[in-house]
Amino acid sequence: MLAAGSLASCLTDLFPQLARFRGLLIGVFITVAFMLTVGGRWLEATPHLRLQGIAVPVIFLLAIIAGRLRIPRWSFAAPGVLVTAIAVCWFKASPSRAALIVMASALVLTPALIAGIVIGWFAARRGSRLQGDIAMAIFLGCVPFQCLELPRTAPETLGPHTAINLDATLLDACVGEYEFPPDNAYWLKWKMTIRRQGDQLVEQITTKNKSYPAVGIYPESKTNFFAKAKGPHELTFVSNDKGEVTAIIVRFPGIPVREGKKLKNE
């Protein structure tokens, strides 16, 4: 994205006749670069042209009005930061789906808003405020709509479970250490260690600063397990074509599903 913005800026420097299109070129180049490089569970590369076609002129009009009122662009970031802080506190206090949606929207829109302000400043640096407004409107009108997919969440209440007996070989295949990387819903990396104690598996979650008590998990099929302890949840072990367990999927009621990769066999 930085390279795309620099390339667009160089084009206007090399070809002075393109200077009047500086904002358009910078906005389009950076936006296209973003769409070609986005990744993750919430981001998609397919344009949403109908929504973006409405958003771009609306944001451009608002930017023009703000300029006439002498409102600096950087002041737009303050409400976004405030809303983000409120949304994060809400989700931590009550991790419901509604809180997740608000937090996700804030965490997507606020960085996009700040990036748009920076892009607008960059485009206006050797041009005019109008060029900056054009670049900012293109970026802010396109980028947020590439983030329409919320992460898959578990049901608010998990169904009833019935434990079964599994062969020791199947239990041993699940034993190991699984790492859950940060994602768009959680910024914290954590690990889950699965150990065997007699005829039962136990799990223990470890973060950077804390290790939680081990709890027992019980099989209801060859791949699906559940925990009865405080904070009940479901676990699914994922195997490759050779039958080797390579990952684990964890579902807590009403919050995003997490997948961790197996680091080593024990």
State whether residue 213 is helix, strand or coil: coil
Q: What is the pLDDT of residue 188?
A: 73
In Å, how far are 235, 253, 261 from 256, measured between CA atoms? Answer: 13, 9, 16
Categorise residue 188: left if φ over 0, alpha if ψ from -120 to 50, beta otherwise. Answer: beta
The mean pLDDT value for 90-103 works out to: 74
**pTM of the shown model:** 0.54
Q: Give residue limits of the domains in the chain.
A: 2-146, 168-265
Least confident interval from 141-150, 189-198, 209-218 = 141-150
Least confident interval from 130-139, 176-185, 227-236, 255-264 = 176-185
Averaged pLDDT of the chain: 83
The mean pLDDT value for 241-251 works out to: 91
Q: What is the pLDDT of residue 255?
A: 77
State whether residue 139 is helix, strand or coil: helix
State whether residue 92 is helix, strand or coil: helix
CATH-assigned architecture of domain 168-265:
Beta Barrel (2.40)
Q: What is the pLDDT of residue 184?
A: 52
pLDDT in tens, 224-245: 999 987 778 999 999 998 889 9
Does the structure show a pLDDT above 50 at 9? yes
Beta bridge partners of 74: none
The mean pLDDT value for 123-141 works out to: 87
State whether residue 113 is helix, strand or coil: helix
Cβ contacts of residue 148 below 8 Å, gap of 6+?
Answer: 42, 44, 48
Nearest to 140 by CA among 7, 41, 23, 39: 23
Least confident interval from 56-60, 100-104, 221-225 = 100-104
Q: What is the pLDDT of residue 185?
A: 56
Tokens encoding 56: 């771009």
Q: What is the pLDDT of residue 238?
A: 95
What percent of the chain clears pLDDT 90, i.e. is strictly above it? 27
Between 220 and 89, the more confident residue is: 220
Q: What is the pLDDT of residue 245?
A: 93
Q: Which of 40-49, 87-96, 238-247, 255-264 shows the highest mean pLDDT?
A: 238-247
With bands split at pLDDT 50, 70 and 90, how would you rate the model's confidence at 189? Answer: confident
Does the structure show a pLDDT above 50 at 129? yes
